[in-house]
A and B are shown apart, each in its own frame.
Chain A
């Protein structure tokens, strides 16, 4: 089966600009996750969708971050305006079973804010 697709792979923006990331999960996977991985740290959950509904967005900085999953398939994560501390790899993952058996990660989008 095809994996989790993410684009772009890399993005460099200036602070205060906006940026969007796209994720296409594995076909049929109802649960989609966005994680933020800062260099030298483990990933941290930003938001979790079940189909097109939000399950957990408690760690999402809602003043600048937004995410949507229209039609319960693809998802976009947006940052507006970006700050220097947003420099990180943004990982998308999906699962079919609610995630407790582990899930499949995409290769991530590396964001550098200068």
Chain B
């Protein structure tokens, strides 16, 4: 089946690195995604990784994919108070129609 699990809450100090973890079940997922949701807003695509990649870096964001363990992580370097939000991991699942299966979200709290 298709299921995505995330830890619910992470608190870090401004300037530290944040690492948000996710596990997924569908090994046939072609793409894995990270979305950010700020209060009262829709979801914003942060980055995505193709399943044949191990790592993707985009400025302060680093995505690591361990396909064997079906584990995905998002590292935010030099975390800022503006990074406080809910972060959702999502997988494309087996259908490859564009449907996304989301985790329940990780709330990132950044303390000054």
Interface residues in chain A, defined as those with a beta carbon under 8 Å from any beta carbon in chain B: 4, 31, 33, 40-45, 48, 55-56, 91, 93, 95, 98-108
Contact = CB atoms under 8 A, between A and B. Distances in A.
B30 A100 contact: yes
Contacts of A48: 97-99
Contacts of B92: 99-100
Interface residues of B, number: 25
Given A44-B102, A45-B99, A105 B90 contact: no
Nearest to A101: B48
B42 to A, nearest CB: 4
Contacts of A55: 97-98
10 contacts: A40-B104, A41-B104, A41-B105, A42-B103, A43-B100, A45-B100, A56-B97, A93-B43, A102-B35, A108-B41
Contact of A91 (B33, B42, B95): B42
A98 B100 CA distance: 11
B42 A106 contact: yes
A50 to B, nearest CB: 8
Interface of B: 4, 30-31, 33, 35, 40-45, 48, 88, 90, 92, 95-100, 102-105
A99 B97 contact: yes
A103 B102 contact: no
Contacts of B100: 43, 45, 99
Given A91-B43, A105-B44, A106-B42, A98 B98 contact: yes
A42 B4 contact: yes
A60 to B, nearest CB: 12
Given A99-B97, A107-B40, 5 more contacts: A42-B4, A43-B88, A93-B43, A99-B99, A102-B48
